Structure 1
Amino acid sequence: MNKSLVSATILAAGFIGLHANATEGGGNVYPNGAEGFMAGALPPQGLYYQNFLNHYTVNKLTDSNGDNSGADINLQATADVSRFIYMTDKKLFGADWGMYTTIPLVHVSGEVAANGVPVLSSTTSGLGDISISPLMLAWHQPNFHYAFALEVTAPTGEYNMNRFANPGRNYWVFTPVFVATYLNNGFEASAKFMYDFNGKNDDTHYKSGQEFHFDYAVGYHLNNYTLGIAGYYYQQMTDDKQNGAVYLDGYKGKAFAIGPALKLDTAAGYSLELRYQSEVSTENKPEGDKFWLKFTTKL
């Protein structure tokens, strides 16, 4: 088995579709690029529902230098993610107190080949790992909105260490989150910053490194439309380890994605956001394209 096929096999062994970066199996728990316009402007008191529909295609795996590893890989993933947000009428530190939960449903299929002959292939669907935040604090100023949250992701998704693809990661993740939106005379800049502390996968004795990543969007509001660009940046900060030893020189990943974005706010009170994101620079991870459709409404 050649070096590129080995790298692709390492990736595929734990691949869970839209959650693909470095760390174990090439994946991480958060679907980078999910947030876009008005990310930091949390709504007033009430119950809200968001739906994220995502499709991710991959046909390239990069090495530690960002070059094509030469692996013959084809991966397709579709996810439907539901998020419920509840903003209370309570105040804490001068902020509006809210909470949320995120529930992903994942379908992923993939194939790794050597000399045109399939070596690994798999198709699977199921519930992914559920995230919850009991503490989300939101502050509002005339042109600046921002919020802080503590998020916990539980290993609720199905996992089998011997299977090619898994809906779940099989470890806990703790993530501080900071979101912000600047809005002035129609111009908007929004971002969501996250830092992941990953637990250990007890089945594989693998501990993925800590991860810093952020989604961003820059645009202009014109009546009920917002037009601009959106994407994400990802960098793994600490080494991956297996059985306590550093794995493949740490197997640290990087990624940068960018693409057009369009948001529509309707008179009926719901919004739709459409985004295309191309991963233009990556290291130690798959490289592909993402399509997002986001729906938000008050319940």
Structure 2
Amino acid sequence: MNYFNGQGKKTDQLINPVPGNPTALQIEQKVITHSFILMAIYGGKGKILGANWGLMIIPTVNSPTANIALDYYSQQTGPGRYVFTNKSLGFGDMYVQPIWLSWKQGKFQYALNYGLWAPTGKYEHGSLDNGGHGYWSHNIRGALKYKPTSKINLSIAPTLEINQWQKNTDFKEGSHLTFDLGGSYVLNSRGDEVGLFGNYSKQVSDDKGTVGSFLSDQNAGIGAFGSYWLVPHKIGIMARITQNFATENRFGGVAFQTGVNFLIPAK
């Protein structure tokens, strides 16, 4: 990952524009993070409000190098330079989605979700090895999927993120609005699939408090993915790659993810 400033230019210099406290931090351009993400999804029986329903939980394990850079920057009181050699590994924040409703009508499918990021990752004010953000984050999401044929899926989903005050600090990150869209093609009766996707995220309200960077950020990305069933409808593998662009006041670059899927029948 690289850091991009408010003009969308790659830079080694982070500048805090808080009046009376013009802090700065020199960072190395090559910032690498590693994460292990376990996603568990349950599809419930019956209907709620005429909708299919489900639950999702995502615990994470992180090597939080990029977050270390931002945390160190936001807590500085003067100019400085720091080389991040810390390679800590620990539990990160956990995502829980207790409300997941989905309605189907002809070739269209609609969904309404509520989820939250719980601050389960280590967070201590001023620490350099934090694995979490130290605050609760609420996500309200709507989604629309259109299936023109049995093999093609098209979807779009806006998400509003609302954050709470950070633990033991006078800081509250602004809200973000994110749009995800994409399309996929089912290759065969096994369910193997390929697709393209894009996303755009924009901070829509200002940070609050007396600490933090107070820099409104945005990011966009495009990518491709593929999935393959090793054992049809039981065990599969997937991979995807994302290229970020239009990045401002945050880290951006190329992200590559791989995963293994296990489908456990309810019967």
1:278 aligns with 2:243: yes
C-alpha contact 1:214 1:233 (8 A) present in aligned 2: yes
What's the CA shift for 1:206?
A: 0.9
Separation of aligned partners in 1, 2:112 and 2:156: 12
Alignment of structure 1 residues 21-170 onto 2, 5 Å:
58=1, 60-71=2-13, 72-109=28-65, 119-121=82-84, 122-170=86-134
Provide the TM-score with structure 1 as the length reference.
0.71
Partner of 2:222: 258
Separation of aligned partners in 2, 1:230 and 1:237: 23
Separation of aligned partners in 2, 1:199 and 1:268: 40
What's the CA shift for 1:221?
A: 2.4
C-alpha contact 2:233 2:263 (8 A) present in aligned 1: no
Could you say which structure has the larger radius of gyration?
Answer: 2
CA distance 1:268–1:85, shift in 2 (3 Å):
closer
Separation of aligned partners in 2, 1:96 and 1:82: 23
Separation of aligned partners in 1, 2:123 and 2:54: 31
- Paired residues in the alignment total 234
C-alpha contact 1:126 1:167 (8 A) present in aligned 2: yes
C-alpha contact 1:77 1:109 (8 A) present in aligned 2: yes
**1:127-174 deviation per Cα after TM superposition (whole angstroms, max 9, x unaligned):** 111122222111123422232111122211111222224211111111
**1:71-94 deviation per Cα after TM superposition (whole angstroms, max 9, x unaligned):** 433211111111222222231221
SS of aligned partner of 1:259: strand
The one of the two structures with greater contact order (alpha-carbon pairs below 8 A, sep at least 6) is 1
1:290 aligns with 2:242: no
Q: As a proportion of its length, which structure holds more strand?
A: 1
Separation of aligned partners in 2, 1:203 and 1:276: 36
Separation of aligned partners in 1, 2:221 and 2:52: 32
Separation of aligned partners in 1, 2:98 and 2:187: 35
CA distance 1:133–1:127, shift in 2 (3 Å):
same
CA distance 1:284–1:272, shift in 2 (3 Å):
same
Separation of aligned partners in 1, 2:144 and 2:236: 19
Q: 1:206 aligns with which of 147, 171, 181?
A: 171
What's the CA shift for 1:242?
A: 2.2
What's the CA shift for 1:104?
A: 0.8
Between 1:219-228 and 1:81-90, the stretch displaced more is: 219-228
Provide the TM-score with structure 2 as the length reference.
0.78
1:239 aligns with 2:192: no
Between 1:64-73 and 1:264-273, the stretch displaced more is: 264-273
SS of aligned partner of 2:135: coil
Separation of aligned partners in 1, 2:156 and 2:92: 25
Separation of aligned partners in 2, 1:140 and 1:187: 16
- 1:69 is matched by which residue type in structure 2? T
Identity %: 23
1:267 aligns with 2:232: yes
Partner of 2:19: none
SS of aligned partner of 1:152: strand
